[in-house]
Amino acid sequence: MAATEDLTYALNEQQLEFRELVRQIAQERVAPRAAEIDEKAEYPHDLRTLLAEQDILGLPFDEEYGGTGTGTLTLNIAVEELAKACASTALILMVQELGALPIKLFGTEEQKRRWLPRLASGEWTPAFALSEAEAGSDPGGMRTRAVRDGDDWVINGEKNWITNIGIADLYVVFAVTDPDAGHSRGISAFVVEADRPGFSIGKLEHKMGIRGSPTGQPVFQDVRVPQENLIGELHQGFKVAMATLDRSRLGVAAQAVGIAQGAIDYAAAYARERRQFGRPINSFQAIQFKLADMETRTAAARELLYKACAKADRRESDMGKYSAMAKLFASDTAMSVTVEAVQVLGGYGFVKEYPVERMMRDAKITQIYEGTNEIQRLVIARTLR
Ligand code: CAA
């Protein structure tokens, strides 16, 4: 057994102080906006500016590219605290990482210097364009094509379910460059800036949850990008996508833990105040046991998440397995915990005056995006063969 396998994590003084700071920002500035963002399905530009000003958007980046250089665990502590207050706002930070990861992990020095500092400062917003209408769980079956023309690549196709649609300044786009290479092969990754001619926005989705984050369909019609925009090796883009998702799934897990904890905190406070049969409902064992199970599952999800983050920070080889397990367990936890939170609030849980129904709707996507939980099980099971 490798020595690293027994290592876990410990939050240091700076991380604990930082968590307090983000918690305060999230509770004072983000939480009061959450219901309105959801109701109006409005992208919170004001909160994005706040995250940039507070250097929170710099968390996914190394210091040499203008980031905080504080690593994956610290980043996901911030995602968790933001998600407690508003899952849509947490997603701003998550996609700042997701869209930048291909460049961070596979970009040349020149490419990193070109794009990462602008992303770290929050001046630019990225998007990650992998999925298509007919290629969701199976991105290896994508149809978007990129064809070489002189020193350029010409991209044609449509992507689907892309977060930050219309907001993003650059899209990392995956396209088939060698159609004869076979399934999941012969794919390459390109940076496409949103102002390139031929780029447009197709359908916008109307969603059940994370309604403050626009999702939709970028369309590429003879979009020309120079060779310098190719990320990683030619025809090796599928690996760029997979390695990116291995890391970004930790963000989904952190969002799920945050949503779950936000729902528990609200339900527990409600149960202290709400009186029925002449006493607070948290004096009934039915409610106590529910809250105890919710808290226990969420604590377990957090432990797995933090351990997986520490593995990512140490670049351990089983990090992808752990991020899949953290995403799977945390998102299933968020779903069951938020359903129970609605139950604790009873009729009040079902109405929009109270936040738990929003949390329940927001939790659902964590079981689906960045790889459905069925795909996570597949990724985990493959390590056991
Ligand atoms: N890291 C690096 N390379 C990897 C890898 C990883 N984690 N996983 C696979 N690869 C490599 C393989 O080694 C193989 O390489 P070779 O060509 O050298 O042999 C190549 O990639 C193909 O691998 P597979 O044959 O295993 O590919 P597959 O077609 O069986 O797919 C899969 C595997 C795990 C099912 C994958 O398709 C998958 O993860 N699907 C889910 C996709 C997903 O998560 N989509 C979410 C999109 S993001 C989003 O949600 C949008 C948003 O904006 C929030």
In this structure, are 35 and 146 located in the same domain?
no
> Cβ–Cβ contacts within 10 Å for residue 264, how many?
25
> Does residue 98 lie within any of the structural domains?
yes
Quote the percentage of the chain above a pLDDT of 90: 97
If asked whether residues 158 and 269 sit together in one domain, one would say no
What is the predicted pLDDT for the residue at 3? 47
N-to-C CA span, the chain: 18
Residue 352 phi/psi, 5-degree rounding, is -75, -10
What is the overall mean pLDDT for the chain?
97
Same domain, 108 and 136: no
Domain boundary among 209, 236, 263: 236
Q: Which tokens is 259 given?
A: 């949503």
In DSSP notation, 207-231 reads -SS-TTS-EEEEEEEEEEEEGGGEE
Residue 229: is its pLDDT beyond 60? Answer: yes
If asked whether residues 350 and 249 sit together in one domain, one would say yes
Q: Which atom of ligand 1 is nearest to the CA of 239?
A: 3
Find the CATH number of the domain harbouring 183: 2.40.110.10
Q: What is the pLDDT of residue 5?
A: 54
Beta strands 230-231 and 215-226 are: unpaired
CATH number, position 263: 1.20.140.10
The predicted pLDDT at position 6 comes to 63
Residues 26, 32, 38, 40, CA torsion sign:
negative
pLDDT digits (tens, 9 = 90+) for 89-101: 999 999 999 999 9
Q: What angle do CA 329, 51, 8 make, to 5 degrees?
A: 35
Pair (252, 343) in one structural domain: yes
Same domain, yes or no, for 265 and 367? Answer: yes
In a domain? residue 190: yes
pLDDT at 4 over 60: no
Confidence (pLDDT) at 21 = 98
Nearest CA to ligand 1 atom 46: 370
Q: Which atom of ligand 1 is nearest to the CA of 127?
A: 53
- Taking only the tens place, the pLDDT of each residue in 149-179 is 999 999 999 999 999 999 999 999 999 999 9
Q: Is residue 3 a part of any domain in this protein?
A: no
Distance between Cα 371 and ligand 1 center (Å): 10
Is pTM, for the whole model, over 0.95? yes
Q: Do 97 and 131 fall within a single domain?
A: no
Same domain for 375 and 275: yes
Q: How does DSSP assign 283-337, residue by residue?
A: GSHHHHHHHHHHHHHHHHHHHHHHHHHHHHHTT-TTHHHHHHHHHHHHHHHHHHH
CB environment 316-341: b (16+ within 10 A), e (fewer): beebbbbbbbbbbbbbbbbbbbbbbb
Q: What is the CATH number of the domain that holds 29?
A: 1.10.540.10
Res. 8 pLDDT band, cuts 50 70 90: confident
Our mutation pick for probing the ligand 1 site, out of 88, 238, 322, 323, counting the most ligand atoms within 8 A of Cβ, is 238
Residue 152 has, within 13 A of its CA and on its CB side, a CA count of 9
**Residue 262 sits in the same domain as residue 376:** yes
Strands 215-226 and 199-204: antiparallel
Residue that finishes a domain, picked among 86, 120, 154: 120
Domain that holds residue 50: 13-120
| 314-322, long-range: CB < 8 A, 24+ apart | 314/4, 314/7, 316/4, 316/5, 318/5, 318/383, 319/246, 319/247, 320/242, 320/246, 320/379, 321/379, 321/380, 321/383
Question: Which atom of ligand 1 sits closest to the CA of residue 131?
Answer: 47
DSSP secondary-structure letter at 147? Answer: E
Residue 374 annotated in active site: no
- How far, in Å, from the CA of 50 to the mean position of ligand 1? 34
Q: What is the mean pLDDT of residues 356-363?
A: 98
Based on the domain organization, do 300 and 373 belong to the same domain? yes
Interval between CA 382 and ligand 1 midpoint (Å): 12
Asked if residue 1 is part of any domain, the answer here is: no
pLDDT of residue 49: 98
**Same domain, residue pair 181 and 95:** no
Question: What is the tally of structural domains in the chain?
Answer: 3
Examine residue 17 and state whether it is found in any structural domain, yes or no: yes
Kindly state whether residue 6 falls inside one of the protein's structural domains.
no
Q: Look at residues 117, 93, 107 and name the one whose alpha carbon lies nearest to residue 189.
A: 107
C-alpha span between 98 and 119 (Å, rounded)? 11
Give the residue ranges of DSSP H helices in the chain: 13-25, 31-40, 45-53, 71-85, 87-106, 109-120, 237-273, 285-313, 319-345, 356-366, 373-382
What digits encode the pLDDT tens for the residues 267-312?
Answer: 999 999 999 999 999 999 999 999 999 999 999 999 999 999 999 9
Q: What is the pLDDT of residue 80?
A: 98
* Whether 252 contacts 213, CB under 8 Å: no
Q: What percent of the chain has pLDDT over 70?
A: 98
pLDDT at residue 71, rounded to an integer: 97
The answer to whether residue 2 is domain-embedded is: no
Tokens read off for 298: 């969420």
pLDDT tens sequence across 365-375: 999 999 999 99
Query: How far does residue 139's CA lie from ligand 1's centre (Å)?
Result: 7
* Domain C-terminal end among 196, 215, 236: 236
Q: Which of 81, 303, 370, 374 is catalytic?
A: 370
Are both 31 and 78 inside the same structural domain?
A: yes
pLDDT score for 1: 42
**Ligand 1 pocket: which residues have CB below 6 Å?**
128, 130-131, 137-140, 161-163, 183-185, 238-239, 242-243, 245-246, 320, 369-371, 375, 378-379
* Domain contains 7: no
CA distance 364 to 207: 11
The tens digit of pLDDT for each residue in 38-62 reads 999 999 999 999 999 999 999 999 9
* 369 CA distance to ligand 1 middle (Å): 14
User: With 60 as the cut, is the pLDDT of residue 338 above it?
Assistant: yes
CA distance 252 to 247: 10
